[in-house]
Amino acid sequence: MSDAPAYLGMLAAPFQVLAEETRQLAFPLEEYVSRIRRVRELMAEARIDLLYVTTPEHVCYLHGFFASWYKANGPMRYPQVYGTAIHVDSDDFIHFDSPNELPLLT
């Protein structure tokens, strides 16, 4: 018997990574790795060192992340805090987002 709660949403406790079977990607991980490598090749050709991607559809295309809510068409008092930074010399990327999206970010 597991001590895990039946509801895996935001809990009033330290965050725990969801079980592997609850993760969802539209494509295999290798596809996302290939996409980022292709973007980095294009960046090198265009002599771009750092690309900061902020549109939801492009963030999702690059690494599969989709948020529970997007700022687009939201009130101005809600700042846009999400984006993905890609450096031309690294396979790793950094995604910035609101702490509220932590369950999805894992």
Give the three-class secondary structure for 69: coil
Pairing verdict, β 83-87 and 93-96: antiparallel
Reply yes or no on whether the pLDDT at 100 is more than 70.
no
Mean pLDDT score of the chain: 78
Reply yes or no on whether the pLDDT at 11 is more than 50.
no
pLDDT score, position 24: 74
Reported in sequence order, the residue ranges of the chain that DSSP labels E, i.e. its strands, are 50-53, 83-87, 93-96
Alpha-carbon torsion angle 40, 49, 43, 33, nearest 10 = 10
Q: Are 59 and 65 in contact (CB under 8 A)?
A: yes
Q: 24 is written with which tokens?
A: 């969802």
pTM, two decimals, is 0.68
Four-residue CA torsion sign, 15, 21, 23, 29: positive
